[in-house]
Structure 1
């Protein structure tokens, strides 16, 4: 029995030696994920807000994550209400978009090229889930106007 356990440990360690947890699919520089959002309607505006994690691999090969606020909205039927909504997932493909997100720049869907997952290869990002084609969105949606008083407000964690 000892030999079986020992052989199993050797086999597992050998098979995991070549595993790299930082490998993304071709030309994927990062992934932005929001678990859930708060939704609301006011007159002819419908929207959702939340905070998600942006994950990428830095130039040193470290796996990094930072929190990024998001706002998604569209014009629609009139109404009034609040609630919870589904999450969001975006795959970042361009270096310019990756850099803008890391530096905390406001990223509007009107200023960048996005498409549904796999629909086009010449885009800044793929929308995987949670944003419809009729909706617009802003990443890094909150102003950091008080950051000069409180110090650096953007926390990124790399390992």
Structure 2
């Protein structure tokens, strides 16, 4: 009795199908992860934009001046706007730092942002704002900024 390739065709077909299914599932998982990360980044960017707009409003500034904490922080710069600008830069750097950690930013582009962070931290007012607010950031980011 001769065995032909056709006798094994159902098994070969099933193995090919199983392999394609496994590859498809892996690709789907990667696409899902990337989509989730992009959504998270978009949400974070919108939240930061809203925060900056709200903080830079006259109403918020007037209320914040009544807080001893904000009064102290506004006192280390020339105006509340300078404080908000420094905080916005620090938040931007932390967001980019997170993108670097998750490999969602090009390595060469990250080097540019890292150099900008290093340069910005030479501005005395930025350094003073950092020193007053760094406890609000992640420990890894604190270590990064303090190492610049």
TM-score range, shorter chain: under 0.3
Which structure carries more helix by proportion? 2
Instruction: From the two aligned structures, give the one with the greater strand fraction.
Output: 1
Q: Higher Cα Rg: structure 1 or 2?
A: 2
> Higher relative contact order by CA 8 Å / sep ≥ 6: 1 or 2?
1
